[in-house]
Amino acid sequence: MKAVLVAALATLSVAGWCQDPQPPPPEPTKVLPTQPARDPLKTRTGDLPAPDKQKADDPTLYLDRLDFGGVKNKILEAKGNVQIRYKGYQVFADEIYGDLRTNIFIARGNVRLFGAEANVSGDLINIDFDKRTFVAEDSNADVRGETVGKGFQGDVYLRGGRTYGSAQRVFGEQTAFTTCNHEHPHFEIEADRVDFRTGQRVVLRDTRFKLFNRTLFKLPYVSIPLNNPNVRYLPEVGRTDEVGYFVKARLGIRESVGQVLDGRVEYFTRLGLGLGLDQAYRSAVSQGFLRAYSLIGPRPLVDLNQDHTQKIGERATLTVSNSYQKTNFVNAPNNTLLTSRLSYNLRQDRATSGITLFRTQNRQNTFQNVNTSITAIDQRQWNPKLRSDLTLNYGSVDSQFQSGSPVKRQQFDVRFRLDQDLSRANLQFQYQRSIPIGENANFFGASDITPLVSITSDGKRLFNDRLKGLFDFRTELSGGQFRDPIGRGTINRYNFDIQMNHADTSTKPLQFNWNGRFVQGIYSDDTAQYVLNFNPALSYRFGQSSSAILRWNYLKPYGYTPLQIDRVGSVNIVSGEVNADLGRGFSAGGQATYDIRLLEQGQKTAWQPAGVRLEYNPSQRFAFRTLANYDPTANAWSNIRFDLAWRPGQTFVSAGARYDGIRRQWAALNLFVDGLRLGKKAVLSSILSYNGYLRKFEATHFQFTYDLHCAELVATYINNPVGFRNGRQLQVMIRLKAFPFDSAFGIGQRGQGIGTGTGRG
């Protein structure tokens, strides 16, 4: 059993310390000489919002409205309800001064600046149109939700003393941050400094959290992640049979540009104290993370993970990752695991090369296993018609046992392919070889090709469009040397392969389509094999969306082949299918298959399971379908399935059921209800999954949501009593609607989605 209770603002990162204060940004660009000498700006610059892309390159200054003033000697002085358009932006203000030589403008009084993705308003804004930077006094900045980050569902409002930035990054001083669009917002986070990074996180320093204009608490540091809804910084309390009662908390310790350091403190009654550090970093040329976690108690655990990606110049990338686990009670309670990976990739104009080193070590008291792999690749386009692909791999396995002989194995693999375009055909050279190193018992490279030369072509290359409408074909002629898995020698094979197909593209009701294949192989051990494959289909359309199809599938090899890769089975079946539109939303269909091979083998019946379908879909708000399969061997309806989808108003209902006709019992019953309104503000969603064979519910999920305008109260109950790490969860939280959020509702214990599917049949 697992019970979890969380009462928090979802996705909110809170920490009590700020050990890395944000350094002051650089001073802004100097204003133009004609600016009135008052209130000199001392704040920093940020980027402007993105302009209208269709007008960003337009150098014309449009004076849409002004009471008096104008442009003289490339200096703009305009006063009184001024409205201008310049370089993809619109600016409204009481006064605007601008230098068209430097493209630096000053706007004063009721200023509003509009870009494509955000807008800024304030009492005074200093704008550099060339550098696309701005500084605003006594201002507001509104950033649209779609530019904030993936999954963000509302706009962000920064209001207060000074704001400066863009859709990529907005700074604020003495600012209030909220996602509530009311004039008097339901909640606000006031901060002396705000750093809003689009798609990443919002960082607020020296904050006061207000609800209905009342200060609830103060914190020196608040971080709200925008790109990872799975990371939750507020405490979780609960219990499981595996770890007992637990308390988990994540604390933000340090945050700066491109770096986030979190601490993890956890306590389990059955495992002891858990401590961890998570560091993520990103720069223009590198990114990665460091994670360390340890359990101190009766079942000690150490878990270390590292990943680093480094750009080297413009074309090369180096990646280094390591993972160390010691006595992980979840998957390796008595083992020590070490996994390391290093890769280097180089991109060139017509080539890609790289080398990868991979090593895994698994150590226990009674054994140790080490796997090592070194792989080098080179893909190269020598000219428009010549391409090569080379892969070299060294692999070794070293297993040591406390009792018994050690096992060691080393081998070197070579794979090379060369493709040459000959206009009318394509020539390919292929070489594949596994080479043992040292003493390897029972080593045999069954997949060796040493080498294979083939030439391929098709109907369009050879005959242009002269066969168009008749049939298309593709042919291959090859000769090469392969390894014989039985005699363990080499076999020379000479092979001819032709594939043909005809697609009826006419609009006639009666159509005939077919495809076929002929393969002839001749081998150096005096054996030969040819394969015939033919698949015709006759279809007839009647009515607007009704049809009948009759198919025959034939595949049979003749002769003998010593190579496993050339062996195929036999197929000889006839199948039919009918789909009919019955009108008024009703449709029906059926299909049946007759296996002629079973008749030749003297089986009781050659009929295969047949299926029938009935659907009723009168509108987009309602759909019902039933499928039934008849088993001619058992002379019974083996499976009958029912599916229902209904949308009454804003509620969605989906149901699925499956009846096992052989056992004569209901095999599965599933129900999904989403968005059931309980009054004006409350919504209920539920998923029920019942297993008729076990006679118990495999999943019971309920989620209650109460609308609080810019936030919502969410209570979730989840019970997954079957499967890996089964248990129950109860979560209660107040979350901000605008922020991305992931819930365990509708997710099984293995991470699979739970819906109304009823399994096979």
In this structure, are residues 738 and 694 in contact, taking their beta carbons and an 8 Å threshold? no
Q: Is the pLDDT of residue 695 over 50?
A: yes
Burial of 106 (0-12, 13-18, 19+ CB in 10 A): buried
Per-residue pLDDT tens over the stretch 425-484: 999 999 999 888 877 655 555 678 989 999 999 988 888 877 777 789 999 999 999 987
Per-residue pLDDT tens over the stretch 146-162: 555 555 566 777 676 67
Q: Is the pLDDT of residue 44 over 50?
A: no
Q: Give the angle subtended at the CA of 18 by the CAs of 217 and 738, to the nearest 5°.
A: 55
Per-residue pLDDT tens over the stretch 416-441: 999 999 999 999 999 999 888 877 65
Q: Is the pLDDT of residue 36 over 60?
A: no
Q: For residue 415, what are the β-bridge partners?
A: 391, 432
- Token digits for 499? 């594939």
Q: Distance between alpha carbon 668 and the CA centroid of its chain, in Å?
A: 30
Q: How high is the pLDDT of residue 143?
A: 62
Exposure of 384 in the CB half-sphere (CA atoms within 13 A):
2
How many residues are listed for the chain in this entry? 761
Q: Is the pLDDT of residue 168 over 90?
A: no
Per-residue pLDDT tens over the stretch 489-521: 789 999 999 999 999 988 899 999 999 999 999
In this structure, are residues 521 and 498 in contact, taking their beta carbons and an 8 Å threshold? no
Per-residue pLDDT tens over the stretch 243-259: 788 888 877 777 776 78
Q: Give the angle subtended at the CA of 184 by the CAs of 179 and 186, to the nearest 5°.
A: 55
Phi and psi of 32, rounded to 5°?
Answer: -70, 155
Q: How high is the pLDDT of residue 15?
A: 34
- Token digits for 441? 């018992």
> What secondary structure letter does DSSP report for 284?
S
Work out whether the CA dihedral 220, 224, 228, 230 comes out positive or negative.
positive
CA distances from 174 to 42, 133, 138, 608, 670 (A): 15, 20, 10, 76, 53
% of residues, the chain, pLDDT over 90: 42
Per-residue pLDDT tens over the stretch 660-692: 999 999 999 999 999 899 988 999 999 999 999
Q: Is the pLDDT of residue 117 over 90?
A: no
Q: How far apart are CA 741 and CA 230, in angstroms?
A: 7
Residue by residue, what is the 3-state secondary structure of 426-444? Answer: EEEEEEEEEEECCCCCCCC
Greatest C-alpha distance within the chain: 105
Q: How high is the pLDDT of residue 12?
A: 36
- Amino acid identity of residue 436, one-letter, is P
Q: How high is the pLDDT of residue 139?
A: 63
Q: How confident is the model at residue 90 (pLDDT cuts 50, 70, 90)?
A: confident
Peptide bond before 298: cis, by omega within 30 degrees of 0? no
Contacts of 142 (CB under 8 A, 6+ apart): 118, 119, 120, 121, 155, 156, 157, 158
- Amino acid identity of residue 105, one-letter, is F
Q: How high is the pLDDT of residue 30?
A: 31
Contacts of 307 (CB under 8 A, 6+ apart): 288, 289, 319, 320, 321
State the DSSP H helix or E strand holding residue 676, giving kind and residue range, or none if neither. Answer: strand 665-678
Per-residue pLDDT tens over the stretch 74-85: 888 888 888 888
Q: How high is the pLDDT of residue 362?
A: 93
DSSP codes joined into one string, 713-726: EEEEEEEE-SSTT-
Q: How far apart are CA 584 and CA 278, in angstroms?
A: 60
Q: How confident is the model at residue 42 (pLDDT cuts 50, 70, 90)?
A: very low
Q: How far apart are CA 165 and CA 175, in angstroms?
A: 14
Averaged pLDDT, 719-727 = 72
In this structure, are residues 739 and 224 in contact, taking their beta carbons and an 8 Å threshold? yes
Q: Is the pLDDT of residue 372 over 50?
A: yes
Closest CA to 205 of 45, 15, 44, 12: 15
Q: How far apart are CA 586 and CA 595, in angstroms?
A: 31
Contacts of 595 (CB under 8 A, 6+ apart): 572, 573, 606, 607, 608
> What secondary structure letter does DSSP report for 39?
S
Q: How far apart are CA 391 and CA 375, in angstroms?
A: 7
Q: How far apart are CA 23 and CA 732, in angstroms?
A: 38
Closest CA to 209 of 176, 236, 241, 166: 176
Q: How far apart are CA 247 and CA 595, in angstroms?
A: 62
Averaged pLDDT, 560-581 = 94
In this structure, are residues 372 and 437 in contact, taking their beta carbons and an 8 Å threshold? no
Q: How high is the pLDDT of residue 317?
A: 97
Q: Distance between alpha carbon 317 and the CA centroid of its chain, in Å?
A: 22
Per-residue pLDDT tens over the stretch 292-319: 999 988 888 899 999 999 999 999 999 9
What SS3 state is found at 597?
helix
Rg (CA), the chain: 35
Q: How far apart are CA 409 and CA 440, in angstroms?
A: 6
Residue with tokens 């020379």: 492
Q: How far apart are CA 630 and CA 167, in angstroms?
A: 60
Q: Is the pLDDT of residue 226 over 90?
A: no
Q: How confident is the model at residue 232 (pLDDT cuts 50, 70, 90)?
A: low
Q: How confident is the model at residue 194 (pLDDT cuts 50, 70, 90)?
A: confident
Q: How high is the pLDDT of residue 489?
A: 79
Q: How high is the pLDDT of residue 315?
A: 93
Contacts of 80 (CB under 8 A, 6+ apart): 66, 67, 68, 69, 94
Q: Give the angle subtended at the CA of 193 by the CAs of 191 and 199, to the nearest 5°.
A: 95
Per-residue pLDDT tens over the stretch 600-647: 888 889 999 999 999 999 999 999 999 999 999 888 999 999 999 999
